[in-house]
Structure 1
Amino acid sequence: MKYTLRVRITLIFVVGFFLVSLLFYAFERLQNEQYTDKIRTNQLNAINWLVSLYNKASLPENWDEYFKNFDLAYVRDIELRNNLLSEAKSISSNETPLGIAEMIEYEGEPFLKLKNQGVVILLRSTQQSPKNTLLLAYALSVALIGGFCISFYGSLSPLRRLRADIKRFANGELDAMCNISVPKGEDEIEQVAYEFNKATCKIKDLLISRQLFLRTIMHELKTPIGKGRIMAEMLSETNQKERLISVFERLNMLINEFGKIEQLISKSYTLNLSDYRFSLVLEQVRDLLMLDDFSKHVFIKGEADPLLKVDFQLFSLAIKNLLDNAIKYSAEHKAILEIYDDMLCIKNPGKELEYPIEHYMQAFVRGKGQKTSGMGLGLYIIDSICAMHKYSLKYKYIDGFHCFYVIFHEHK
């Protein structure tokens, strides 16, 4: 069973409180025994010395002063005397020439009872009990433990804020975090929270500058592409005109793709989910691939047309990239698309991969010795888009074919 830091600290303080209480209880028992033993020793000495004086016919003139020497005094309270005579417990009793000397106990306190014919003398100790001092020490110890406990809980407060900030950071809420002033403080946790907030603001500035840089480049590229498209429209030769227009449309489409990829990598893309038949997605994929003859390069198997809840543009981009990779890395520049109700399978013939597929799904990773150009983001982007849709991207190498499966179900 896992416990939170707060629960662990609480358990530590509870155990500490229990051990301190146990220690004080044992110490109180020991002190009480020592206190009782000392009183009984004084009582015994008072009787023995009194008997000795009696034998010498030299009884004391001032009995109060005599008993005071042994830290004893008469019990003058009538109610207490009555309770002692009726309820006190006898500890020991001795017959002396002066009468019966009996040590008694009432409510845990020792008393001395002297009885001679009809006269009863009750004596109690005048020594101060150490119990009050011990209780004060115990109260101070408990207060100290409680103070430390409250102090520790106070130290956890910045840690809770830090946890909330990390969660917001993971969700990309950098603006909200940087708008909150975090005090530096002197506590180590507060300093960590302060430095984390400071680092978050720097990351936010870097992201803003990167986005501004990329968007500026894309904006500046669109201007010459637009001008080139206008000039292409002015050509009289039909073949050259169509070819140039196709090139400029392809460039414009690539810039739009770069924009989506930039948002995907920066985790700032918001899905726009709706229900679409896969046949409609496939039509969009045809347009994105811009192949002269789509059916010459892509062979479609299966008559299924599943209804999918997807972001149309983004999911079309993922399928386009899968088909583009399959065509690009096939010796014959051909791929097979198999359509099922619960998944898609895109195949292409080729040599077995040098590394596990997880290696190629990392960002900016490409196979060694590949002549095709690119940044190595293809599979990373496809896997990211599938994960955003809660679909699974699986890979198998079967009978000389690379098989990529897009399975339409949520991760379990």
Structure 2
Amino acid sequence: MRYSLTTKITIIFAIGFIVICTLFFMFFKLQNERILGKIGENHYNSINWLLSLYQKSNMPEDWERYFRNFDLAYVKNVNLQKAIFDNGTIVSRADTLIGTVDTISYKNNLYLRIKNQSVTILLESTLHSGNDSLLFSFIIVMALFISLYVSIFRSLIPLKKLRSDIRKFAAGNMDSVCVVNFTKGNDEISEVAYEFNNAACKIKDLILSRQLFLRTIMHELKTPIGKGRIVSEMIEDETQKERLIAIFERLNILINEFAKIEQLLSKSYSLDYAKYHFSLILDQAKDMMLLDDFDSNVKVELICDPLLKVDFQLFSLAIKNLIDNALKYSDDKKAIIKCDNNAIYIRNHGKPLNRSIEHYKQAFIRDNNAKTSGMGLGLYIIEHICSMHKFSLDYNYIDGFHEFCIKFGSVNSEKS
């Protein structure tokens, strides 16, 4: 069972609180027992000394002063006397020459009663229990204990905010994470939060500068492409005209693809989900490739035409890149596309890879073999797009064929 840090600290302090209360309770009890023992001893000594004086016929003249020597005093409150006589418990009783001597317990205190035919005396102890100082110490300790608990919890507040900021930072929401005038605290957690804020602000600035640089380049490239597209319309030779138009359209599509890839890698792309048949997605990928001989080089086997909930442009880009890779790295420059209700399969004939497929899925990985030199960033982007759609990208090498499989399952699709 997992517990949060605040829960663990609360449990520790709760145990400490119980231990402190138990210890002080034991101290109170021991202190009270010690005082009661001392009072009982004073009762015993006062009576014994009074009996010896009685036997010597030398009774004290000032009885109040006599009992004061044993830390005893008369109970003068009539109501208290009545309450003690009515509700008190007789602890011990002795018949002596001066009368009946009782030790009475009432409200955790001991009283001495001397009763004979002529008089009844009720005495109480004047000893201080010492519980007041003990109670004061208990209050001081508990105040320090609670203030320490509150102080630790206040120190954990930046940690909770830091956890929230890290989640926002991971989700790409840097505007709410980066605080310009961040106040630096005195404890270690506040210092960590302060350093994280500085790092987040620097990363935000780097990402913004990179995005500005790339977008500026792509914007500047669109201008000559647009001018070239206009100039190509003025060419009288239809064959050359169509070739130039196709080239400039291809460049324009590449610029748009680069913009999407830049957004994808910078975590700033928001998926626009909608339901599309795979055949429509494949047509879009085919248009993006601008291949005149697509049907002769790519064999399509649609066992069914599933209805997929995807971002149309982004998922079409992934299919286009997979087909492009299959044609580019195939020994016979042909590819096979197969689709059923659970997955999309793209196959091509070729030699086995020199390394595991995980190596080629990494970003900016280049192989020394010219056949596979372009499989680094492309596969990284394809797998990233599949991951954003909650699809899985698997690879198998079967009977001389490379096979990439995008599994979406029947849950994420509907039969046509």
TM-score (norm 2): 0.91
1:68 equivalent in alignment to 2:68: yes
Q: Distance in 1 between matches of 2:167 and 2:25?
A: 47
Q: Name the amino acid aligned to 1:357.
A: I
Tell me how far 1:22 sits from its aligned partner.
Answer: 0.7
Q: Secondary structure at the match of 1:94?
A: strand
* Cα distance change of structure 1 residues 118 and 369 upon mapping to structure 2, 3 Å threshold: farther
Q: Secondary structure at the match of 1:185?
A: coil
CA contact (8 A) 2:297 2:333 kept: yes
- Per mean C-alpha deviation after superposition, the further-off stretch among 312-321 and 187-196 is 187-196
Tell me how far 1:39 sits from its aligned partner.
Answer: 0.8
Q: Deviations 1:281-306 (Å, cap 9, x if unpaired)?
A: 21221122222311222111134222
Q: Distance in 1 between matches of 2:352 and 2:31?
A: 84
Matched residue, 1:83? 83
- Per mean C-alpha deviation after superposition, the further-off stretch among 385-394 and 348-357 is 348-357
* Cα distance change of structure 1 residues 375 and 268 upon mapping to structure 2, 3 Å threshold: farther
CA contact (8 A) 1:395 1:403 kept: yes
Q: Distance in 1 between matches of 2:81 and 2:372?
A: 110
- Per mean C-alpha deviation after superposition, the further-off stretch among 369-378 and 67-76 is 369-378
Unaligned runs of 5+ in 1: none
Q: Distance in 1 between matches of 2:130 and 2:88?
A: 23
Matched residue, 2:211? 211
Q: Name the amino acid aligned to 2:262.
A: E
What value does the CA root-mean-square deviation take over the aligned residues?
A: 2.3
CA contact (8 A) 2:366 2:372 kept: no
Q: Name the amino acid aligned to 1:267.
A: K
Matched residue, 1:276? 276
Tell me how far 1:237 sits from its aligned partner.
Answer: 4.5
TM-score (norm 1): 0.92
* Cα distance change of structure 1 residues 322 and 375 upon mapping to structure 2, 3 Å threshold: closer
Matched residue, 1:125? 125
Matched residue, 2:376? 376
1:188 equivalent in alignment to 2:188: yes
Q: Name the amino acid aligned to 1:285.
A: A
Tell me how far 1:26 sits from its aligned partner.
Answer: 0.9
Q: Distance in 1 between matches of 2:12 and 2:179?
A: 37
1:93 equivalent in alignment to 2:93: yes
Q: Secondary structure at the match of 1:279?
A: helix
Q: Distance in 2 between matches of 1:141 and 1:56?
A: 54
Q: Distance in 2 between matches of 1:279 and 1:30?
A: 88
Matched residue, 1:246? 246
Matched residue, 1:311? 311
Matched residue, 1:363? 363
Matched residue, 2:223? 223
Q: Distance in 1 between matches of 2:17 and 2:299?
A: 76
Matched residue, 1:328? 328
Q: Distance in 2 between matches of 1:36 and 1:355?
A: 87
Q: Deviations 1:210-249 (Å, cap 9, x if unpaired)?
A: 0111112222333333444445444455444443433333
Tell me how far 1:391 sits from its aligned partner.
Answer: 2.1
- Per mean C-alpha deviation after superposition, the further-off stretch among 225-234 and 387-396 is 225-234
Matched residue, 2:290? 290
1:2 equivalent in alignment to 2:2: yes
Q: Distance in 2 between matches of 1:224 and 1:85?
A: 113
Q: Deviations 1:92-117 (Å, cap 9, x if unpaired)?
A: 23333323332221122111122233
Tell me how far 1:320 sits from its aligned partner.
Answer: 0.6
Q: Distance in 2 between matches of 1:86 and 1:279?
A: 101
Matched residue, 2:175? 175
Q: How does 1:32-51 map to 2 (within 5 A)?
A: 32-51=32-51
Q: Distance in 2 between matches of 1:354 and 1:94?
A: 107
Q: Name the amino acid aligned to 1:37.
A: G
* Cα distance change of structure 1 residues 102 and 354 upon mapping to structure 2, 3 Å threshold: farther
Matched residue, 1:299? 299
- Per mean C-alpha deviation after superposition, the further-off stretch among 293-302 and 76-85 is 76-85
CA contact (8 A) 2:278 2:305 kept: yes
Matched residue, 1:147? 147
CA contact (8 A) 2:179 2:201 kept: no
Matched residue, 2:161? 161
Q: Name the amino acid aligned to 1:273.
A: Y
Unaligned runs of 5+ in 2: none
- Per mean C-alpha deviation after superposition, the further-off stretch among 60-69 and 359-368 is 359-368
Q: Distance in 1 between matches of 2:102 and 2:274?
A: 99
Tell me how far 1:4 sits from its aligned partner.
Answer: 1.8
- Per mean C-alpha deviation after superposition, the further-off stretch among 315-324 and 359-368 is 359-368
CA contact (8 A) 1:182 1:193 kept: no
Q: Distance in 2 between matches of 1:301 and 1:279?
A: 11
Q: Distance in 2 between matches of 1:62 and 1:354?
A: 115
* Cα distance change of structure 1 residues 354 and 60 upon mapping to structure 2, 3 Å threshold: farther
Q: Percent identity?
A: 54
Q: Distance in 2 between matches of 1:158 and 1:193?
A: 7
Q: Name the amino acid aligned to 2:220.
A: E
Tell me how far 1:375 sits from its aligned partner.
Answer: 7.5
CA contact (8 A) 2:179 2:197 kept: no
